[in-house]
Amino acid sequence: MQDSSNNTTHFGFKEIPTDEKVDAVAQVFHSVAAKYDIMNDLMSGGVHRLWKMHTINQSGVRAGNKVLDIAGGTGDLTLRFSRIVGSTGQVILADINDSMLKVGRDKLANKGVVGNVKFAQANAEALPFADNTFDCITIAFGLRNVTDKDAALRSMYRVLKPGGRLLVLEFSKPESECLSTIYDQYSFRLLPFMGKIIANDSESYRYLAESIRMHPDQETLKGMMDSAGFERTSYQNLTGGIVALHKGFKY
């Protein structure tokens, strides 16, 4: 959480000036962008693809819809959404990091995705879109990197159409102590080692592990969505709570 009393916020386990976090996170993702997809597969054993597919299935998106994929990175969700919305719909892949956007743009072009996808470099805290624009908004593994999560959720609510839904897919708190202990060992020992071997960057992956621990737990995030105005908020734990899918509607 941001500490308004001394204008600092967390960057992993560190406290840094709030106005430095965007640049600090940007450096992490500039560093990992080229190896991002490979590391995702290795880190999760490919299970991240199942988490994302479940998010797609829960989105309610159909032909002709307009979808915003925030922190869309290398475009996994955008690729699938573009096929669902078809020629009469549109998907906007938004990311604050230009390195990730470039990787996503190239990846989607290589997959033959053209016409119904646009790209936007945007900060989730102040989305550059008109009110009531999107039928569905997703943010997958990106909210924990946002400095002011409450502002971001309010911004998402603003640009969502009445009747639309937000889906937040994010690492969360394991349901059992045993799983939590195993997950900690994996996160703080194996993950930085894999980052060093595959991406030549152990520090960025140490930050990513720390950022997961600093992210609000399931109930806290649900409450934050309620406060932002979302209704019928709920969450579903995936893989024992290592990941949770939060859902909220705008009416």
Give me the DSSP letters along 114-127. Answer: -SSEEEEE--GGG-
Minimum mean pLDDT among 99-103, 177-181, 199-203, 226-230: which range?
A: 199-203
Domain ranges, ordered by start, for the chain: 8-175+205-249
Q: Are 80 and 51 in contact (CB under 8 A)?
A: no
95 is in an annotated binding site: yes
123 is in an annotated binding site: yes
74 is in an annotated binding site: yes
Interatomic CA distance for residues 235 and 243, integer angstroms: 10
Q: What is the pLDDT of residue 153?
A: 98
Q: What is the pLDDT of residue 4?
A: 46
Q: How far is CA 34 from the centre of its chain?
A: 18
Q: How far is CA 222 from the centre of its chain?
A: 16
Q: Is the pLDDT of residue 17 over 80?
A: yes
Q: Are 61 and 135 in contact (CB under 8 A)?
A: yes
Minimum mean pLDDT among 1-5, 6-10, 203-207, 213-217: which range?
A: 1-5
Q: What is the pLDDT of residues 70-82, one digit of tens each?
A: 999 889 999 999 9
Closest CA to 166 of 97, 71, 102: 71
Q: Is the pLDDT of residue 3 over 60?
A: no
Closest CA to 218 of 197, 237, 200: 237
Higher pLDDT, 38 or 53: 53
Report the CATH fold assignment for 8-175+205-249.
Rossmann fold (3.40.50)
Q: What is the pLDDT of residue 6?
A: 57
Highest mean pLDDT: which range of 28-37, 140-149, 185-194: 140-149
For CA atoms 171, 174, 178, 181, give the dihedral sign. positive
Higher pLDDT, 245 or 9: 245
124 is in an annotated binding site: yes
Q: Is the pLDDT of residue 2 over 60?
A: no
